[in-house]
Chain A
């Protein structure tokens, strides 16, 4: 018996699947399962986070519902995965944020954006707030650069700390890899698998979402979202280097690197989340973890909001709307940062850790 109902169910399913093994060519979950004959809580959390929810094992399974064996691996692992986020949250006192995550994210986002708007209004003259600012340092007339850098660095560093502490708990819980080997090759393999979304491919033919046909486009939308996010992060990083190393202040002209990166990233962060949201609306309810609908949609909405306010700011930065839009964009980004350890963002961290563990196990199996 495990600590929770969902881990008991995951254990039951892995026992069924381990006596069948038809799905072992579909993804990483089943080969990892086959390395074990019994499953601890940590093992099940590892497998849950290794699952990419491509849906192939559900439509391929002769025992999925309405069969009495009721084998629904994607949904069971989705619930187990979400519960693992709460279980490993740091500090523990904040694990409750995962319970009604959509609400929490909405409130934090609303408060954050409201705070920036009120702050801008309180600290700036009305003529400055609604003024037209152009040229280097235009943004910093509304909020001093150092204040902005300090605030966002603090939020970001906190997020990093909380994420590191969370994933550390996860890493400890899933135990040493079967075969016990860790090396650089495994890290490289895991980075590749994560960057390619190797296991979001239904065993090669594509993923499943609304029915038994492999017509799903989530991989494309996830790539747009993920690389959009990375490009935006790169834009911010380049801009920071410009500021401190070259003494060049934002805003930059449209052709300059931070703007090009940010624009491409922003487009990804708008199109990707819309696509992911539409896919979620179409998803077969049998595969959906309804209880985490809020968490999933909340994260998608936060990414969309970040991209959308950023693009609006870019387009309208030389108008009177710049001040309020800057407040909204900063509010969205701040909310995204502080909720990173307490929302769907963590899925990427745990999944990467699981892929790393899997790469280690595969390499030690191949080497043994």
Chain B
């Protein structure tokens, strides 16, 4: 048995819901298939907290203007130029209107959270966080008459000559195992929770990765689309990875497992050796490099080591630091070689030059004569108890996606636009973000292209 809709949206996060709402407002009948159970609906959106939108003047919650040009420059900088300028500029222009549109869909803003003052001008925060945002979008979608199915895993897509015909389901929905639709919006995220897929690029190291989002981000829709002739975009080996607490759960530890203490201490690997300049740049500018750095270390583990003088310099952490009254005792707790750790810290302390510590600027506290150096905020680690956080790579999202046009329409491998297939969110983020990341951009991509995809999908269906 099969049933038929104007627009089928696969996925259940920010992009999917913006698409569903926009399509429904465009007069289409809409079904949303969310592969996760209701509690875990929304994929990575569950864990988000803000969105980066351009605006020409300060608002009630934003402290100052953030022009399209400045947004573009930020995007150029973080991607190193690996972006589609036409698409990116279009997204940035549209983001201005999204700031209001998303509020009309029930989402509420609040000023930037404690500890995120650096984002107060550029990023609008969701009151109550990403799940609150999702609840508002789902409520609006349901009030508009969008149908939503949970635990609705899609096992196959029927696509002919770049034309979507139907989706096949693992479990029947209202008796139907096949959903036909005039337009498809694929907004089902990346493949960061698919360890086997990650292993294709990372080898066995991927077994030691922790996944910050739900276990449902398996990339199955992305894979189907690419297998059926949709053009791919983005580096498949790239993923956004930060250093998170090694004690975090394998999946869905979200934001609270992160550590922002790197700049206050040193980071050593399992051989108790330092491997990168911890003071390279102001937090959180280089926040995202540490996931990849740790991933490159043996057994994908590292330890942020600091002393008791800095514990109140960063956000309180979910897991308490591991403590030792001596460096050797701490090494024992961490199962590191005590002599090696003592040597590393002694050498580091000896290399620290006097300076005036100020963590808000690139200060003049540096080391001399060690490799790698610590080029800012270098202070001796000498006041017990000695403390440490074990960290592992925490994978946030992947960059591989489907290539799309300005109107979120998928391009086929032969370069022709698909007749009725659209994509939004992480599944096409690689068009805009070739690499790198700036806070809140994932949500911008989701909302902007979600709304475009929904509008265009409805337009196609109603023609």
Contacts and interface: CB of A to CB of B under 8 A. Distances in A.
Is the A/B pair a real complex?
A: yes
Contact of A60 (B125, B131, B252): B131
A24 B113 contact: yes
A305 to B, nearest CB: 38
Contacts of B203: none
B238 interface: no
Contacts of B138: 212
Nearest to A59: B135
A22 B49 contact: yes
Contact of A20 (B46, B111, B256): B256
B316 interface: yes
A325 B256 CA distance: 59
A203 B127 contact: yes
Contact of B130 (A18, A19, A62, A205): A62
Contacts, number: 85
A26 B128 contact: yes
Interface in A51-83: 56-57, 59-63, 66-69
A19 B256 contact: yes
A213 B136 CA distance: 8
B139 A15 contact: no
Interface string B102-119: 000010101101110000
B127 A25 contact: yes
The majority secondary structure among interface residues of chain A is: loop
Nearest to A34: B114
A22 B47 CA distance: 10
B362 interface: no
Contacts of B131: 59-62
Contacts of A67: 39, 252
Contacts of B111: 25
A60 B129 CA distance: 7
A16 B318 contact: yes
Contacts of B114: 21, 24, 34
A165 B144 CA distance: 54
Interface string A14-52: 011011111111100000001001000000000000000
Contacts of A60: 128-129, 131-132, 135
A75 to B, nearest CB: 16
A128 to B, nearest CB: 62
B33 to A, nearest CB: 20
B100 interface: no
A135 interface: no
B255 interface: yes
Contacts of A68: 249, 252
B401 interface: no
Contacts of B115: 21
Q: How large is the interface on B (under 10, 10 to 19, 20 to 34, 35 or more residues)?
A: 20 to 34
B254 interface: yes
A180 interface: no
B361 interface: no
A185 interface: no
Given A25-B110, A68-B249, A204-B108, A16 B127 contact: no
A15 B128 contact: no
B127 A21 contact: no
B16 to A, nearest CB: 17
Contact of B316 (A15, A57, A62): A15
B254 A62 contact: yes
B370 interface: no
Q: How large is the interface on A (under 10, 10 to 19, 20 to 34, 35 or more residues)?
A: 20 to 34
B340 interface: no
Interface string B216-256: 00000000000000000000000000000000010010111
Contacts of A22: 49, 113, 126, 128-130, 132, 255
Contacts of B127: 25-26, 203-204
Q: Of A18, A57, A60, which is in contact with the most chain B CB atoms at under 10 Å from its CB?
A: A60
A84 B115 CA distance: 32
A203 B129 CA distance: 12
A69 B108 CA distance: 26
Q: Of B113, B127, B317, which is in contact with the most chain A CB atoms at under 10 Å from its CB?
A: B127
Contacts of A16: 256, 318
Given A20-B256, A25-B110, A203-B108, A212 B135 contact: yes
Nearest to B133: A60
Given A57-B128, A62-B46, A204-B108, A19 B318 contact: yes
B317 A62 contact: no
Contacts of B315: 18-19, 21
A213 B139 contact: yes
B312 interface: yes
Contacts of A34: 114
Contact of B128 (A19, A37, A56, A66): A56
Interface string A73-104: 00000000000000000000000000000000
Given A15-B318, A19-B316, A60-B135, A25 B128 contact: yes
Nearest to A25: B110
B333 to A, nearest CB: 20
Contact of A62 (B47, B136, B139, B312): B47
Contacts of A203: 108, 127-128, 132
B145 to A, nearest CB: 16
Given A37-B312, A204-B108, A204-B127, A20 B255 contact: yes
A23 B138 CA distance: 19
A23 B318 contact: no
B128 A23 contact: yes
B381 to A, nearest CB: 21
A66 B39 contact: yes
Contacts of A23: 128-129
Nearest to A35: B114
A67 B49 CA distance: 18
A56 to B, nearest CB: 6
A37 B136 CA distance: 31
A61 B255 CA distance: 12
Q: Of A37, A67, A204, which is in contact with the most chain B CB atoms at under 10 Å from its CB?
A: A67
Nearest to A202: B128
A57 B131 CA distance: 10
B256 A205 contact: no
18 contacts: A15-B318, A16-B256, A18-B315, A19-B317, A19-B318, A20-B129, A21-B113, A22-B126, A22-B129, A22-B130, A23-B128, A25-B125, A26-B127, A57-B128, A59-B131, A60-B131, A203-B108, A203-B127
The 7 closest A-B pairs by CB, nearest first: A22-B129, A60-B128, A25-B110, A60-B132, A19-B256, A19-B318, A62-B46
Given A34-B114, A61-B131, 12 more contacts: A20-B129, A20-B254, A20-B256, A22-B126, A22-B255, A25-B110, A25-B127, A60-B128, A60-B129, A63-B256, A66-B39, A203-B108
Interface of B: 39, 46-47, 49, 106, 108, 110-111, 113-115, 125-132, 135-136, 138-139, 249, 252, 254-256, 312, 315-318
Interface of A: 15-16, 18-26, 34, 37, 56-57, 59-63, 66-69, 203-205, 212-213
